[in-house]
Amino acid sequence: MSVHCQQVREAFFGLGETDRAHTGLDGLGEPVARHLRECPACSSLPRRLEAQRDLLEKLDLRSAPAELEGRVVAVFETGHRQDRAVEALQALTPPEVPGELTARLEAGAVAERPALARWIADGPRAPLVLERLVAEEVDDPARTRTRRAMELLDRRAAPGALDRRIARLLRPLARWQRMPRPLVGAAAALLVLLVLPVLRRDRGEPASPTHAYSFRVVRGGSIRDLDPQARRLLEGVTGGALLLNRGNGEPR
């Protein structure tokens, strides 16, 4: 397609449907209309456009999902929610203090109630628990929502079988509790004497997640550190993802 064809095509498709309907090809200007008549490549443009429009008009209209409207509104309104809340709060008229309260305060009720006196001295404050809840909400909204959602879950009763198992497990303990206290004390002392040497001997070995193995475990590193056998296996089972992975901008 020559540059001229490209210009004609852009001009033709750029013209609105109303313009075309009212003006026909003449509305495109004589040079363009002439080109459309004479150029074999472009002469079918009007027909193709009409065909496309006809096809589009034949398509069934689909209704937008019900939640779409709500989502659109939510998206557009989200940015203004805070402003509207502030405006609404500012528009509120402060409630007047009841006359009876004023009279009682003046009558010395404050002196009898230290908490009320502090409240008046410090000014109105939200309860500490409310401040804590707001702080938690701001710090970690997801956690707060999760906690709320969990509070809504039904609490399920434990099955009877569990009660029976717990009772069975606790039965030996109950027998211990019935034993004479001096006897229990002697048994505990004997146990300490037996276990203490073992504990002291083990204290010299560092507690490590790898202590159960006969080798030392080193975690992390790069796939470049892998033996070629291991790397080939990994490349195979990950379908070449490792080959395609670009470290430092270079293909592996």
Partner 1 sequence: MNRSRSTLAVAIVASLGLASCGDGQTSFEVNNDVSKGGTYASTTQLPLLQAMAEAPFTVSYCGERRVEQHLDVDGVPSVTIQREGVCADGSGAFSVRLLDSIQPILGPTELQMLQALQSARAGFLYLERDFRIRDLPLFLQNYAVVTFPGAVDVAGRSCVELEVQRQEGADRRYLLAVDPANGLVLRSREEDLNGQLISLVEFELLQLDPDFTDVEFHPTTPDQPLDLEDPDLAGIHFEFGTPRFLPEGFQLRTTEVVDDASDSSRWVKLAYGDGVEQLFFLHGGPLQRGGMAGNTNARFQDFDQDVVRVLRVGPWSVAQGEVGGQRVITVGKRAEHELLLMLESALP
Q: Closer CB to partner 1, residue 3 or residue 218?
A: 218
Of 126, 183, 187, 243, the residue at the interface with partner 1 (CB under 8 A) is 243
Mark 220-239 with x for binding to partner 1 (rule: CB under 8 A) and - for no binding: xxxx-xxxxxx--xxxxxxx
Dist. CA 77–CA 68, nearest whole Å: 14
Of 58, 175, 201, 216, the residue at the interface with partner 1 (CB under 8 A) is 216
Q: Which of residues 81-120 bind partner 1 (CB under 8 A)?
A: none
How far CA 9 is from CA of 3, 16, 40, 132, 143, in Å, comes to: 10, 13, 13, 65, 57
* Residue 167 beta carbon to partner 1: minimum distance, rounded to whole angstroms: 23
Dist. CA 36–CA 18, nearest whole Å: 19
Q: Closer CB to partner 1, residue 52 or residue 210?
A: 210
How does DSSP assign 15-27, residue by residue? S-HHHHHHHGGGG
3-state secondary structure of 250: strand
Of 79, 94, 98, 251, the residue at the interface with partner 1 (CB under 8 A) is 251
How far CA 242 is from CA of 157, 187, 227, in Å, comes to: 49, 61, 14
Using CB under 8 A as the binding criterion, the count of chain residues that bind partner 1 stands at 34
Residue 165 sits in the site that holds partner 1 (CB under 8 A): no
Q: CB of 24 within 8 A of CB of 8?
A: no
Q: Closer CB to partner 1, residue 75 or residue 149?
A: 149
Handedness of CA 36, 39, 45, 48 (dihedral sign): positive
Residue 247 sits in the site that holds partner 1 (CB under 8 A): yes
Residue 213 sits in the site that holds partner 1 (CB under 8 A): yes
Residues that bind partner 1 (CB under 8 A): 210, 213-223, 225-230, 233-247, 251
